[in-house]
Structure 1
Amino acid sequence: MLTLNRHFQPHPDVVDTPLDNDETVLLHLTRSAYYTLNPTGSRIWRGLKQGWSLQDISHSLQQVFEVDAQRADRSVLALVQELSENELVQPPN
């Protein structure tokens, strides 16, 4: 079960490119699949790249986007679950 005290990191086969509109494009090199993250997803991705816990990322969303804790928590958990299912992130080694 995915919880906020967990850490994830980008999969080594994934590269990212930030776009001018605060979106981010992810490319999984071995699967030749790409994904686009909106500004919220981009902020979550940056937190993952910096080694933050999912809880720390949620706190950041609460401050930047002025959302309540439950909404931020749900957003982080949902996106990380989806990224994990698509092999874009993994637990740290």
Structure 2
Amino acid sequence: MEKYYRNQNIIDGELDNYQVMMHLEKGKYFGLNPIGKRIWELLVIPHSFQEITDVLLSEYNVSTDVCIKEVKAFMEKATQWGVIEKSEVPL
């Protein structure tokens, strides 16, 4: 099962209701909106895509289709930027 987790080379902090972070190796800054911030909070421990969407669906008033689409887009971008990483975890 594929799990997502935080890149350990990211330092982060909270500013108002947003998450700000810096990739130490790349020297790039990133900002997350409240939903991205919530996903970042969840990734303090590895989670699967399904686990993340299940939590968000239970916490926010959003349709399943929209949630899946938005989380997928976020995870793809965050992985591409090196903010989060993924790996196969044995069942």
- TM-score calculated relative to the size of structure 2: 0.85
More strand by share: 2
Q: Is the 8 A contact 1:59 1:72 kept in 2?
A: no
In the alignment, the residues of structure 1 paired with residue 56 and residue 75 of structure 2 have an alpha-carbon distance, to the nearest angstrom, of 14
Task: Say which SS state the counterpart of residue 7 (structure 1) adopts.
Answer: strand
Identity across the alignment (%) = 26
Question: Unaligned regions of 5+ residues in structure 1, if any?
Answer: none
Higher RCO, Cα 8 Å, sep 6+:
2
Deviation at 1:87, TM superposition (A): 1.1
Question: Unaligned regions of 5+ residues in structure 2, if any?
Answer: none
Q: Which runs of 4+ in 1 moved over 6 A?
A: none
Q: Which residue of structure 2 lines up, in the alignment, with residue 24 of structure 1?
A: 19
Q: Which residue of structure 2 lines up, in the alignment, with residue 71 of structure 1?
A: 66
Deviation at 1:13, TM superposition (A): 1.0
Aligned with 1:34 (options 29, 33, 52): 29
RMSD over aligned Cα atoms: 1.7
In the alignment, the residues of structure 2 paired with residue 12 and residue 69 of structure 1 have an alpha-carbon distance, to the nearest angstrom, of 30
Q: Is the 8 A contact 2:2 2:87 kept in 1?
A: no
Deviation at 1:50, TM superposition (A): 2.4
Q: Count the aligned residue pairs.
A: 88
